[in-house]
């Protein structure tokens, strides 16, 4: 139990630091990246977390949805990055083993992860919304809605190398004719929140220059 609490504390602190030091807007970049882009030999990918630590008014049912979303996001990232030789996806248990206690603040924690795993970058993801659609594929009362944030930091300094966000509540083609291509790719159907989140994660990972 103590080991689990320590893991949760570490992840919560990392993600709170992430949210307080990062701002996101639009589709892709939230903060300016370091220029020029220098390739990284190794990137640590942490399990996705949630925004629960920043909002104590969230209902229990919504909190459970966010936790499910973070778990699903972690699974998607693990699958998408499994064949990338420069990526090391680690679990919560591994984090606890590598860092049994917080030392030197969040920057020290991130630096320690990078040092112990010999990686120059740490990728953190925070799920802020994971709302399932209400209804079926062709008749939905309420569409799926999801958002998340990603930040890649240099482990030695904590500086932002790359950041991106995703925020979408599915729209029907009739309500937004500009969404024709997206609607067509989805078969003009109302997709599940899992499909929505997975599409967003794949798009953002594909856009990250350090992962290519």
The tokens of 121 are what? Answer: 């970058």
Residue 105's pLDDT band (cuts 50, 70, 90): low
Residue 58 is predicted with a pLDDT of 73
Helix or strand holding residue 140 (H, E)? strand 140-142
Residue 172 is predicted with a pLDDT of 62
pLDDT tens by residue, 106-163:
677 788 899 999 999 999 999 999 999 887 676 667 889 999 999 999 999 888 999 9
Q: CA 82 to CA 76: how far, in whole Å? A: 10
Q: What are the percentages of helix, strand and coil residues in the chain, rounded to 5?
A: 45, 20, 35
Residue 171 is predicted with a pLDDT of 72
The tokens of 185 are what? Answer: 């790719």
The overall average pLDDT reported for the chain is: 79
Predicted confidence (pLDDT) at residue 203 exceeds the cutoff of 50 = yes
pLDDT tens by residue, 70-80:
999 999 999 99
The tokens of 198 are what? Answer: 């997975």
pTM to 2 decimal places: 0.78
Q: What are the structural domains, with CATH classification, of the chain?
A: 2-211 (3.40.50)
Predicted confidence (pLDDT) at residue 191 exceeds the cutoff of 60 = yes
Helix axes 193-207, 60-80, angle to 10 degrees: 50
Q: CA 55 to CA 68: how far, in whole Å? A: 17
CA angle 106, 32, 25 (to 5 degrees): 90
């Amino acid at each position: 139990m103590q080991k689990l609490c320590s893991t949760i504390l570490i992840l919560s602190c990392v993600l709170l630091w992430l949210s307080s030091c990062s701002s996101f807007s639009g589709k892709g970049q939230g903060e300016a990246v370091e220029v020029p882009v220098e390739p990284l030999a190794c990137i640590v990918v942490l399990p996705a977390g949630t925004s629960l630590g920043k909002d104590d008014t969230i209902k229990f049912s919504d909190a459970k949805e966010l936790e499910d979303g973070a778990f699903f996001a972690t699974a998607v990232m693990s699958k998408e990055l499994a064949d990338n030789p420069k990526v090391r996806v680690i679990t919560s248990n591994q984090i606890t083993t590598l860092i049994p206690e917080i030392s030197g603040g969040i920057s020290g924690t991130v630096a320690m992860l990078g040092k112990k795993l010999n990686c120059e970058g740490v990728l953190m993801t925070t799920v802020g919304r994971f709302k399932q659609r209400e209804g079926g594929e062709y008749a939905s009362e309420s569409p799926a809605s999801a958002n998340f944030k990603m930040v890649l930091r240099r482990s030695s300094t904590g500086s932002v190398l790359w950041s991106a966000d995703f925020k979408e509540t599915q729209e029907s083609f009739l309500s937004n004719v500009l969404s024709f291509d997206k609607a067509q790719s989805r078969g003009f159907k109302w997709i599940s929140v899992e499909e929505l989140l997975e599409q967003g994660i794949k798009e953002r990972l594909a856009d990250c220059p350090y992962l290519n």
